[in-house]
Amino acid sequence: MPLIDAAHLYRYYGKHCAVNNLSFHLHKGDVLGLLGQNGAGKTTSLQMLCGVLAPSAGQIQINGFDLLKHPLAAKQHIGYLPDTPPLYRDLTVTEYLTYCAKLHGLNKQATRLAMAHVIERCGLISVSKRLIAHLSKGFQQRLGIAQAILHQPDIIILDEPTVGLDPLQMTEIRALIRELGQEHGIILSTHRLSEVQESCNQVHIIHQGKLLLNESIAALDDMMNTGIIQITTRFAADNQRLATIVGVTQIETLAENCLRVHFNPANNPTQALTETIMVAGWELQELTPVKKSLEDIFIALTQDKTS
Amino acid sequence: MKSLIIAEHEFKSVFRSPMAWTVLAILQLIFAYLFLTQVETFRRLQGKLAVIDNSPGLTDIVVTPLFGNAGIILLLVTPLLTMHLICGERRNKTLPLLLSAPISSTQLVIGKYLGVMGLLVLIVAMLTLMPLSLLVGGELDSGKFLANILALSLLVSAFAAAGLYLSTIAGHPVVAAMGSFGLLLLLWILDWSALSDADASSWLHYLSLLRHFQNLQTGLLSTVDVSYFVLFISTFLCATRQHLHRSRLTP
C-alpha cells in the first residue's frame, strides 16, 4: 500500500487555478522532489497533502485513510514543515517540542524518548534550553524539521527545507533527509535543482500547477547525458589519432590543449581515450563528462509548454 | 483532551509575556479604587439606611455596582485579550502546525476558548476577593453575591466567544480587537434606544447584553437570561468553527 495516494488534485483560488490535475504516489523509502519556479503550485500541493488546505477536487489517501473523510487518523501519519517553520518565539526548544508531542498525542514517556532522539538527530543539543527567538535561522529551520519528525510519522512533508541556510548547514540537512528517507517516505519542495539531484530518488517538475515531468533520478541522469567528454592535456594531442578510437564521432578543439570529444552513448570510449593519451605521453590533466544541467532540462521543458 | 493541551498552552503563553501581568495589575488597581468608593458610599449612607424599612444592604450598594462597572471595563479589555487567539497564530505562521496536527477544528476552537477563559476567570476571581474581605466586619447577601459572580462570568464568557470569532475572521489583530469592541459595545447600548421607545423595539431589548446582565445581577435567576448567554456563546463558537473549517477551502 502506498503511503500517499493522491489522485487528480485541483485547487482554485477564485478563478486562478493553482494546482491543475496533479497526482502523487509515495512509497516507503521514496524521497520525492517537487521542483518548480516560484508560484508553480508547490506549496499549495503540499498544504493539500497534509490537510492544511482542502483540494477543490480530487482524492487523497494517507496510509489507507481518506484525508478528507478521516482527517484525524490520516494526519497522525504526517509530519509537516511549512515554508516558514511554525515556531513560538517565546518558548524554549524543549518546551516547544513537548507541546508538539502533546498535540500529536504522545504520552509522557514516548515524548521523552522522541525528544531526546530528535534533539540529537537534528543537532539541537547545544541549544535545547534556549529561547526560540534567540536561535539563528539555521537552528530554527532544524527545529522545524525536528518538529516534523518528532512523532515518527510515516510521511514527512518538507516545504523548502534548506532555504536560508548556509552551505554547510545545507549539506547537513540534505544528509539528514537522505538518512530519514530510508525509513520514511519524504516529499520535499524546492526550486534548487541541485538539491533534488542530491537528496531525492524521484522528481516531479511542475509549472503553473501542471505536471511537466515525472521521472526517477536515474532516468533524469540519463536525460542529462549529452555524449560529450571534455579533455585537457599538458601537450597538444593528435586529433586524428583520437578520432580513430571506436565510438568517437567528432572532435572539436576548444583551446590549444583542450578538446571536446563527441561519442556514441552506446559505445563509451572513455577507457580507450585515457589509454591512448597515456601511451602517447600527452599527459592527461582533466577528463570530464559534459552533462546537460538540470537547469537546461527545466528550461527546455517549461519553454516547450509555454510556447 | 487535545483541547486542554491547546488551552494550557494558550493560558501559559499569556503569562510568558508581560501582557497578562500588566492586565491583572491594572485591572486590580481600578477594581480596588471602585470597590473603595462603593464602601465609602455605604459608610456615608449607613446612618440614613438604618431608619428605612427594607433598605438596600451592603450587597446592593457595594457588590452590584462594582460588578456592573467591572462588566463595562472588561468590555474594553476582553477584545485586547482575544485579538491574538487565531489571528496571531495566522500572522506568526504557526497555524499550519495546528491544522496539520491530528486535531479537529472543534477541539482547536474549544482549546483556544478555554485558554482565554482561564485568564478571564482569574480576573473575575480576583475581583470577587474584594467583597469577600467585607465578611470580616459585615454580612453579605450570599444569594445576590453569587448571582453577581455568575452574571459577570457569563458576561465575560460571551465577550470571549465574540472576540474569538472576530479574531478568526480578521486578518490583523487590531482589526479583530476593534471589531469585537464595536460589536460588544453595540450589543451593550442597544438597550438605550430600546428604553426611549419601549414597545416598538422590544426585540432590541431582548438582544441587549446589558439587560440580561442586569437582570441576573438582581439575583433573579431566570432561564431566559441564562439561556441568552448560553446561546450567545454557542453561536459564536459554532461560527468560529465553521469559519476555520471553511477557510481550508477558501483562504
Task: Tell me the nearest-neighbour CA distance from A134 into chain B, angstroms.
Answer: 15
List the single residue in B with minimal CA-CA distance to A81. B97
Angle, helices B173-196 vs B64-82, to 10°: value is 150
User: What are the Cα distances from residue A219, in Å, to A190, A222, A288?
Assistant: 19, 5, 20
Per DSSP, which regions of B54-193 are E strands? none
Give residue A155's pLDDT band: very low, low, confident or very high (50, 70, 90).
Answer: very high
Q: Using CB atoms within 10 A of its CB, is residue A192 exposed (0-12), middle (13-18) or buried (19+)?
A: middle
Q: How far is CA A112 from the centre of its chain?
A: 31
SS3 (DSSP) at A236: coil
Q: For chain A, what is the largest distance between any 2 Cα atoms, rounded to a whole number of angstroms? A: 75
Q: Which residues pair with A62 in a beta bridge?
A: A4, A65
Give the Cα separation of A287 and A78 in Å (integer). 45
Residues of B in Cβ contact (< 8 Å) with A86: 92-97
Q: Would you say B62 and B42 are in contact if contact means Cβ atoms under 8 Å apart?
A: yes
What's the CA gap between A136 and A258, in Å, rounded? 46
A107-111, long-range: CB < 8 A, 24+ apart = none
How does pLDDT run across A178-192, given as a tens digit for each residue?
A: 888 888 999 999 888
Predicted local confidence at residue A39, as pLDDT = 83
**Amino acid symbol at B24:** L
Predicted local distance difference test score (pLDDT) of residue A306:
58
**Angle between helix B18-51 and B105-132 (nearest 10):** 40
Q: What class does CATH assign to A225-295?
A: alpha beta
A47-61, A170-184, A284-298: least confident range: A284-298
Chain segment A49-92, per-residue pLDDT in tens: 998 999 999 999 998 899 989 999 999 999 999 999 999 999 99
B196–chain A Cβ distance below 8 A for any pair: no
pLDDT for A294 equals 65
A contact set with B (CB within 8 A): 13, 47, 50-54, 56, 71-73, 75-76, 78, 80, 82, 84-91, 99-100, 102-105, 147
Distance CA(B217)–CA(A24), nearest Å, equals 61
Residue B182 has pLDDT above 70, yes or no: yes
Say yes or no to pLDDT of B205 above 80: no
Q: Which residue has the higher pLDDT, A26 or B206?
A: A26
Reported ipTM: 0.89
CB-nearest partner of A80 from B13, B96, B103: B96
State whether residue B227 sits within 8 Å of chain A by CB: no
Q: Which residue of A has its CA nearest to B17?
A: A90
Average pLDDT of the segment spanning A13-31: 90
In Å, how far are A32, A41, B3, B246 from A10, measured between CA atoms? 20, 10, 32, 17
Which chain B residues have a beta carbon less than 8 Å from that of A82?
Answer: 93, 96-97, 100
Gap from B20 CA to chain A (nearest CA, Å):
14
Residue A193: its pLDDT value, please? 80
Cα first-last separation, chain B: 28
Q: How far apart are CA A282 and CA A71, in angstroms?
A: 67
Q: Which residues are CB-contacts of A140 (< 8 A; sequence separation ≥ 6)?
A: A85, A87, A132
Please write the tens of the pLDDT for every residue from A222-244: 777 777 888 888 888 888 888 88
Range with the poorest average pLDDT among A131-135, A215-219, B36-40, B128-132 = A215-219
Number of CB atoms found within 10 A of residue A196's CB: 26
B179/B168 Cα distance (integer angstroms): 11
| Contacts of residue A216, Cβ cutoff 8 Å, sequence gap at least 6 | A201, A202, A203
The answer to whether the Cα torsion of A233, A237, A243, A249 is positive or negative is positive
Helices (runs of H) and strands (runs of E) counted in chain B: 12, 0
* Å between B16 CA and nearest CA of chain A: 7
Contact A88 B92 (CB under 8 A): yes
In the 8-state DSSP scheme, what is residue B63?
Answer: I
Give the best residue of A19, A68, A102 to mutate against chain B (max B CB count within 10 A). A102
What amino acid occupies position A244? T
CB contact under 8 A, A51 and B95: no
Residue A229: what pLDDT? 85
CATH class of the domain defined by A1-77+157-162+180-208:
alpha beta
Query: In a mutagenesis test of the B interface, which of A96, A99, A151 is the best target, namely the one with the most B β-carbons within 10 Å?
Result: A99
Interchain contact, B100 vs A78, CB within 8 Å: yes
Distance CA B131, CA B144 (A): 12
Q: In sequence order, which ranges of A150-212 are alpha helices (DSSP H)?
A: 167-180, 193-199
The nearest CA of chain B is from the CA of A275 a distance in Å of 59
Cα–Cα distance between B106 and B110 in angstroms, integer? 6
**Cβ–Cβ below 8 Å for B100 and A52:** yes
Q: Do A51 and B100 touch (CB under 8 A)?
A: yes
The residue with cell 530519514 is A180
Q: Structural domain boundaries of chain A? A: 1-77+157-162+180-208, 84-152, 225-295
Quick: pLDDT tens for A90-100: 999 999 999 99
Residue A80: the pLDDT is: 95
Query: What is the spatial distance between Cα B190 and Cα A118, in angstroms, rounded to a whole number?
Result: 56
The Cα–Cα gap between A51 and A100 comes to: 17
pLDDT of residue B153: 96
